Amino acid sequence: MEEKVLLGHGNGGKYTQRLVKELFHHYFRNDLLDEMNDAAGFSTPGERLAFTTDSYVISPLSFPGGDIGKLAVCGTVNDLAVSGARPLYLSAGFIIEEGFPMASLRQIVQSMADTAKVAGVLIVTGDTKVVPKGCADQLFINTAGIGVILPGADVSGSYARPGNKIIINGTIGDHGMTIMARRSELNFNNLLRSDCAPLNGLIQELLLDVPGIRVLRDPTRGGVATTLNEIAVQSGVGIALDEDSLPVQGSVKSACDILGLDPLYLANEGKFLTVVPQPQVEAALNVIRKHPLGQDAAVIGEVVDGPVGKVYLKTGIGGKRIVDVLVVDQLPRIC
């Protein structure tokens, strides 16, 4: 194959056919993809389905803990998982800048294939466009995903009730700070690492083992602060966070101190928030902490009557401050 991606790889002709056959079909191999038709056909896997999409424009393309390929699979898998669905099928749309190294594309496609395998999903349909040099920055990937909603699952951001506890499955801000440090070329002794991971296995166990899980969200762009604000608005409640109980890695905390950033606004790519009625908190924590992706799970706050639609933080020194939705970007192209 060519060493660099050419415009011809996106023209639908001979070069495209070769790229699809030798790269995408080689790594993503499965029966549905092999049919080589305009759409993948599949039998209905259940009574209710979930459908979602995300484009990934992260820079740099590779980072400690992952790359754009892993992210593109995890992000969409996680959106399905927090909707109460078992993710099944993904599409993959590539927009590639002319001249992009074929070896890098191969590595990213391999990473997508590996992550799809871990998450138990199939990449069944795709598309490749190549744009002239300067018309895109290296590589963008879109994935859309279809999942089957688990029997009995009924989750929505509108189900939080006063008295419920807020649980997160681990430390916050790892992904955002890793990318930020990488981009600013700050050296934090290589201690930073993205949390990018497929959460569907853990979330499925939680939904099956702990009835009463009604709110699930992944705090990606905008961070925990923005996601909790959305839940507060959708449910018409207030949320009180407890600063001392927020799990933050030492390296992330130090980097935040140096850069003057708040981990509550940093993106996460392997975390979910759930809102749990008090009687089920222990059971939920047990299930989450038993899973490799949930060992640092913690109760970080509770749902309160009000102020409605607001999130506030009880600080370590006994103060209170409102935690608003993210307004000004800390960093573009974080995912």
What's the rounded Cα separation, in Å, for the pair 152 and 141? 33
Amino acid sitting at position 144: A
The string of DSSP codes covering 243-297 is GGG----HHHHHHHHHHT--GGGS--SS--EEEE-GGGHHHHHHHHHHSGGGTT-
Should residue 1 be labelled a site residue for a second copy when binding is judged by CB under 8 A? no
Write out the binding residues for a second copy, residues 76-95 only, by CB under 8 A: 79-80, 82-83, 85, 89, 91-95
What's the rounded Cα separation, in Å, for the pair 1 and 98? 15
Read off the tokens for 309.
């639609």
Should residue 47 be labelled a site residue for a second copy when binding is judged by CB under 8 A? yes
Report the residue from 156, 161, 209, 245 that binds a second copy according to the rule CB under 8 A. Answer: 156
Within 13 Å, how many C-alpha atoms sit on residue 333's CB side? 17
Do the Cβ atoms of 169 and 272 come closer than 8 Å? yes
Stretch that binds a second copy, among 112-120, 130-138, 165-173, 293-301 (CB under 8 A): 130-138
Of 79 and 251, which CB lies nearer to a second copy in the complex structure? 79
Should residue 125 be labelled a site residue for a second copy when binding is judged by CB under 8 A? yes
Do the Cβ atoms of 145 and 76 come closer than 8 Å? yes
Tell the smallest beta-carbon distance from residue 250 to a second copy (Å): 26
What's the rounded Cα separation, in Å, for the pair 173 and 176? 5
Write out the binding residues for a second copy, residues 4-33 only, by CB under 8 A: 7-8, 10-17
Of 88 and 256, which CB lies nearer to a second copy in the complex structure? 88
Of 164 and 251, which CB lies nearer to a second copy in the complex structure? 164
Should residue 54 be labelled a site residue for a second copy when binding is judged by CB under 8 A? yes
Tell the smallest beta-carbon distance from residue 59 to a second copy (Å): 8
For residues 225 to 244, the per-residue mask of contacts with a second copy, x marking binding by CB under 8 A and - elsewhere, is -x-------x----------
Of 40 and 251, which CB lies nearer to a second copy in the complex structure? 40
Tell the smallest beta-carbon distance from residue 301 to a second copy (Å): 20
Q: CB 295: neighbour CB atoms within 10 A?
A: 12
